[in-house]
A = this chain, B = another copy of it.
Amino acid sequence: MRRIGIIGAGLCDEATAKTAEKIGRMVVERGGILYCGGLGGVMEAAAKGACEAGGITVGVLPGAKASDANPYIKVPVVTGMGHARNVVLVRSCEALIAVSGSHGTLSEIALALKMWKPVIGLDTWPNIADVHYVQTPEEAVEKAFHLLP
């Protein structure tokens, strides 16, 4: 099973959540496992979509408690390592989809590119060379699977 990560804002508006939820669902429908940071916002919405499609959802958590995970995480990975969990999340995925997000997401985009992993960007940090920017959740998932190694 292919491992697709979603990264993005821990707090987000309804429209962004819908986008993330669609991405989560489509990742599972195409046979992927959804990896994320396990918390709220984009992470929770994507996990919800993936979960409702019957998939496996992995949450790589920064804190020390599994109960930090959002309710749609089936497999919590409890790092207790703060932002260093970003490295574990990125390294575990074959491709990453960034949806909105702030500095934490930027660090994950940069780490993914450093590790030569495909990064798809949707309404996120602009103008980063090597990020594949798209306009819709459908395109994002299509592109992610297309670019898998």
Q: CB within 8 Å of B: which of A75-107?
A: 75-84, 86-88, 91-92, 94, 102-104, 106-107
Copies of this protein in the complex: 4
| Interface of chain A: mostly helix, strand, loop or mixed | mixed
User: Min CB distance, A124 to chain B, in Å?
Assistant: 12
In the assembled complex, A60 has its CB within 8 A of some CB on chain B:
yes
How big is chain A's contact interface, by range? 35 or more
Residue pair A56, B83 in contact (C-beta under 8 Å): no
Query: B-contacting residues of A (Cβ < 8 Å)?
Result: 1, 3, 33, 56, 58, 60, 64, 66, 74-84, 86-88, 91-92, 94, 102-104, 106-107, 110-111, 113-115, 127-128
Residue pair A84, B82 in contact (C-beta under 8 Å): no
Residue pair B87, A83 in contact (C-beta under 8 Å): yes
Residue pair A110, B103 in contact (C-beta under 8 Å): yes
Residue pair A75, B75 in contact (C-beta under 8 Å): yes
Write the chain B residue with the least CB distance to A104.
Answer: B114
